[in-house]
């Protein structure tokens, strides 16, 4: 009986959607004109991240929380709206989810949430430590004014799978703006003996909010980004005074 109900719902859905799928070109033209000012796209930020302490890398002091650049990946999945303001000026705004992955230089680094502060310690020498990292995920909103110069077109998919001209990707692009985010989750991951893996899900006194500045630069089909958090990674007086940053390519 349950299967029959599901099939009936699917069949009725097809009947309802079929007239919409059969809209003629005039309807599509009306839809395009209605949405002429703002275009929609999906992008991926892929790069590396690190953090600074008083403007310097903790590596300089051989701190336990010093981060290894290679392997400390930053990933962002973004739903972006592009609003044409005037001339070459555009506003890129939207929401997304991002992940900081801080891979510690010292594989034996361990994190523990104490009563009033985050505690960084080192695993005993007899432990064959292979990997240690801290990961934090955030839900973000961003607004970046962008100047787009030059000519060129690419295509985007809209409602029913048709394609139409989308963005100017043939010239030079530069933009600077801001973002704010809310922490969704955080955990540490350690690997011992290449086999034993352990994850510890906790807050680690990470700030629930993040906010900062974002710079974008592009030429033809290649775009780059750089983010810098203006607020500190850890709650004040609960951990080291660190500001996170990331940079990489926009896919």
Tell me how far apart the alpha carbons of residues 200 and 92 are, in angstroms, rounded to a whole number.
36
Tell me how far apart the alpha carbons of residues 189 and 181 are, in angstroms, rounded to a whole number.
23
Mean pLDDT of 105-128: 93
Which tens digits make up the pLDDT trace of 118-136?
999 999 988 899 999 999 9
The residue among 93, 103, 191 whose CA lies nearest residue 143 is 93
Q: How confident is the model at residue 8 (pLDDT cuts 50, 70, 90)?
A: very low
pLDDT attached to residue 12: 41
Mean pLDDT of 55-59: 93
Q: How confident is the model at residue 2 (pLDDT cuts 50, 70, 90)?
A: very low
pLDDT attached to residue 169: 59
139 backbone φψ class: left, alpha, beta (φ>0; ψ -120 to 50): beta
Chain centre distance of CA 241: 23
Provide the whole-model pTM: 0.79
Compute the 3-state secondary structure of the chain and give helix, strand, coil in percent, each to the nearest 5.
15, 55, 30
Which tens digits make up the pLDDT trace of 175-210?
999 999 999 999 999 999 877 889 999 999 999 999
Cα 177–178–180 angle (5° rounding)? Answer: 165
Tell me how far apart the alpha carbons of residues 151 and 172 are, in angstroms, rounded to a whole number.
9
* Three-state DSSP class for residue 16: helix
């Amino acid at each position: 009986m349950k299967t029959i109900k599901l099939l009936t719902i699917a069949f009725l859905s097809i009947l309802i959607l079929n007239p919409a799928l059969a809209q003629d070109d005039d309807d599509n033209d009306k839809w395009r004109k209605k949405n002429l000012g703002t275009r929609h796209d999906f992008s991926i930020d892929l790069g590396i991240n690190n953090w600074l302490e008083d403007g310097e890398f903790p590596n300089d002091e051989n701190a336990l929380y010093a981060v290894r650049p290679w392997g400390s990946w930053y990933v962002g999945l973004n739903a972006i709206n592009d609003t044409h303001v005037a001339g070459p000026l555009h506003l890129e705004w939207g929401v997304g989810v991002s992940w900081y992955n801080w891979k510690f230089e010292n594989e034996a680094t361990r994190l523990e949430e104490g009563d009033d502060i985050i505690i960084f310690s080192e695993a005993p020498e007899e432990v064959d430590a292979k990997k240690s990292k801290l990961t934090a995920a955030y839900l973000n909103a961003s607004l970046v004014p962008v100047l787009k110069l030059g000519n060129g077109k690419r295509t985007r998919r809209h409602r029913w799978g048709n394609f139409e001209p989308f963005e100017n990707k043939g010239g030079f692009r530069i933009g600077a703006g801001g973002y704010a985010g809310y922490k969704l989750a955080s955990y540490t991951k350690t690997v011992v003996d290449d086999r034993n893996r352990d994850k510890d899900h906790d807050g680690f006194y990470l700030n629930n909010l993040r906010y900062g500045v974002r710079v974008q630069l592009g030429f033809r089909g290649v775009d780059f980004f750089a983010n810098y958090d203006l607020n500190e990674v850890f709650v004040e007086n609960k951990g080291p005074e660190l500001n996170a940053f990331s940079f990489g390519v926009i896919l």
